[in-house]
Amino acid sequence: MMTRDEALALDRADALAAFRARFALPDGVVYLDGNSLGALPKATPARLAAVIAQEWGDGLIRSWNRHGWIDLPRRVGDKIGRLIGARPGEVMVADSTSVNLFKLIAAALRLRPDRRVIVSERENFPTDLYVAQGLIELLGGRHELRLVTPNTLDAALDDEVALVLLTHVNYRSGRMHDMAAVTRRAHESGALMLWDLAHSAGALPVDLAGSDADLAVGCGYKYLNGGPGAPAFLYVAQRLQDSFRSPLTGWLGHAAPFDFDPLYRPAPGIASAIVGTPPILSLAALEIGVDLALEADMAAVRRKSLALSRLFIDLVAQDCAGLGLALASPARDEERGSQVSYAHDEGYAVMQALIARGVIGDFRQPDIIRLGLTPLYLRFVDLWNAAEILADIIATRAWDKPELKRRAKVV
């Protein structure tokens, strides 16, 4: 079993080690929640200060042209595209993941007017399911949301299915779909495929074009380190852009927004997915995080992520066997995203005990201790330390205190 010295040796040999110094991390914390809110890049404060003081304060309205604000959603979108295997012009930054899901699910139903079923997983992140439910209700209930498990997905793909809506890496378990294989099966049934990349973009290599994916959305504030509530992105494959229509028809998605024509005419392709005025401060912060991710080789990020998770899983398996902690993530590397989750009957209290000891992850209902692995700012020794602390908490039942069981507003 790996010793702390061996973990330190891995850090010395780590080709990505230098990235850690590019993030402002609090002292005394092992941050395993970058899949909920990514850490602050050190370049962000100065960039935001300049955007605020020079671009907004001095430039004022002129900055839409002078500082290229109007191009920012597409510029940052194209950069994200390079992280997820998209071509230029296929990705746009806009709104939230949820709002982008609404645009794309509605667009998909419009592209498959003779089909009435959306297939998704019961274990998908709820917002994906909620957005589909809200849209179905709005459309009068003619459509059905068919919820499956990974094992029953194939059987659910019949000729009624308009859209398969899946999250690439599951938010609770970290289980990862085979994007190319699932997309192929969706296409064989005549359905479109929409991938939610919330837990993938910036965390591991994604190849949307190579997987022949139709549509995708993703999150700016997790592995892209864009800041709390950073804008999200959406992807529409080139071949669909001529027929793509978003139901959220705002002024900036018009073909000629500054004509102020009373009749909506969509901008070509994904440009029509812009709705209102883009959030410049948030976009500028997101761009810094994306630029940082672009400096890293995503294949190297993936290798390190798997090495981190393997180290942690092995240590916990050794130290916590038989103590009520069950690995809730796939044991096989190729099925696991960039996180490790455990089930524990008192998962909430265990997580509070971890946080009290400086190991920050999060809890997900009903019993999941979720630990996100962000190779750009985590060291092997951080995972070694975290495993030791977790083992100590489990062995000593340090979680068994009333104050650790009191739920906070956000968990």
Site for a second copy in 178-197 (CB under 8 A): none
Site for a second copy in 257-286 (CB under 8 A): 257-264, 275-283, 285
Residue type, 377: Y
Gap between the Cα atoms of 226 and 39, Å rounded: 8
Asked if 18 is part of the footprint of a second copy (rule: CB under 8 A), the reply reads no
Question: Considering beta carbons, is residue 28 or 402 the nearer one to a second copy?
Answer: 28
Site for a second copy in 99-118 (CB under 8 A): 99, 102, 106
Gap between the Cα atoms of 236 and 171, Å rounded: 23
| CA-based nearest residue to 252, from 97, 78, 95 | 95
DSSP state of 236: E
Stretch that binds a second copy, among 11-19, 57-65, 331-339, 386-394 (CB under 8 A): 57-65
Asked if 69 is part of the footprint of a second copy (rule: CB under 8 A), the reply reads yes
Stretch that binds a second copy, among 55-63, 158-166, 202-210, 389-397 (CB under 8 A): 55-63
Asked if 167 is part of the footprint of a second copy (rule: CB under 8 A), the reply reads no
Asked if 255 is part of the footprint of a second copy (rule: CB under 8 A), the reply reads no
Using DSSP's 3-state secondary structure scheme, residue 107 falls into: helix
Q: Which of 23, 31, 102, 125 is catalytic?
A: 125
Gap between the Cα atoms of 234 and 104, Å rounded: 8
Known active-site residue 304: no
Asked if 223 is part of the footprint of a second copy (rule: CB under 8 A), the reply reads no
Known active-site residue 130: no
Q: Can you count the helices (H) and strands (E) in the chain? A: 13, 15
The C-alpha angle 334, 338, 341, rounded to 5 degrees, equals: 95
Question: In angstroms, what is the minimal distance from the CB of 172 to a second copy?
Answer: 8
66 neighbors 59 (Cβ within 8 angstroms)? yes
Known active-site residue 370: yes
Known active-site residue 221: yes
| CA-based nearest residue to 143, from 176, 175, 191 | 191
Asked if 232 is part of the footprint of a second copy (rule: CB under 8 A), the reply reads yes
Q: Which of 103, 370, 379, 380 is catalytic?
A: 370
Asked if 131 is part of the footprint of a second copy (rule: CB under 8 A), the reply reads yes
Question: Considering beta carbons, is residue 64 or 238 the nearer one to a second copy?
Answer: 64
Q: Token pair of 97, please? A: 């993941």
Site for a second copy in 288-347 (CB under 8 A): none
Read off φ and ψ for residue 16, nearest 5 degrees: -95, 5
Exposure letters 229-262 (e unless 16+ CB within 10 A, then b): ebbbbbbbbeebbeebebebebebbbeebeeeee
Asked if 53 is part of the footprint of a second copy (rule: CB under 8 A), the reply reads yes
Question: Considering beta carbons, is residue 45 or 210 the nearer one to a second copy?
Answer: 45
With CB under 8 A as the rule, give the number of residues binding a second copy: 94
Gap between the Cα atoms of 370 and 17, Å rounded: 24
Gap between the Cα atoms of 126 and 148, Å rounded: 14
Question: In angstroms, what is the minimal distance from the CB of 300 to a second copy?
Answer: 25
72 neighbors 282 (Cβ within 8 angstroms)? no
Question: In angstroms, what is the minimal distance from the CB of 272 to a second copy?
Answer: 10
Asked if 287 is part of the footprint of a second copy (rule: CB under 8 A), the reply reads no
Q: Which of 78, 128, 196, 362 is catalytic?
A: 196
| CA-based nearest residue to 174, from 152, 206, 200, 211 | 200
Gap between the Cα atoms of 259 and 324, Å rounded: 64
Strand (E) or helix (H) holding 370: strand 368-372
Sign of CA dihedral 40, 221, 95, 90: positive
Stretch that binds a second copy, among 149-157, 179-187, 200-208, 358-366 (CB under 8 A): 358-366
Asked if 202 is part of the footprint of a second copy (rule: CB under 8 A), the reply reads no
Q: Which of 222, 336, 364, 379 is catalytic?
A: 222
Q: Which of 250, 269, 324, 330 binds a second copy (CB under 8 A)?
A: 250
Q: Which of 1, 13, 155, 410 binds a second copy (CB under 8 A)?
A: 410
Asked if 63 is part of the footprint of a second copy (rule: CB under 8 A), the reply reads yes
Asked if 39 is part of the footprint of a second copy (rule: CB under 8 A), the reply reads yes
Q: Which of 230, 311, 328, 371 binds a second copy (CB under 8 A)?
A: 230
Cis bond upstream, residue 231 (ω within 30): no
Known active-site residue 79: no
Positions marked active-site: 125, 196, 221-222, 370
